[in-house]
Amino acid sequence: MARESSGHQLDEVVRFNPAIRFVILADNEGGILDAVKRAGVDSRETTNETRTITERYGAMFGLADQPDNYFGSAHFFIIRRDKLVELMFPVAGKIIIVAAHPSFHLEKVDGLEKLIRSIM
């Protein structure tokens, strides 16, 4: 599914922190446009399961696409699981999904968001 990191703009996201395993660029419906993985890292789920997950996130972003009258726009979403941290960023009508090892420190999310917005 994902190619190894090799000089692409998504590679900068992988290089941001050693805990980052995968980066997926998806359309706003969750269709996978591009994906990059850290060298030596393999996905734990099948390609079909990855598509199902990204489609689910696409639906979630559809709900969050409009700014809230009181609190503004959603900048990112974080899902912390036992074996993975998933960070999702809506950017320019697309979704950047970052999968990281649970050791990824959440205080780094703001810096990651700035990097993603600067390269997209």
Stated pTM of the model: 0.83
Q: How many domains does the chain have?
A: 1
pLDDT at position 1 is 47
Residue 82's domain comprises 3-119
pLDDT value of position 21: 94
Is-contact 19 106, C-beta < 8 A? no
What tokens were used for 61?
């972003």
Query: What average pLDDT is seen over the chain?
Result: 82
Residue 66: CATH number of its domain: 3.30.450.30
Cα–Cα distance, 39 to 30 (Å, whole number): 24
pLDDT at 49: 65
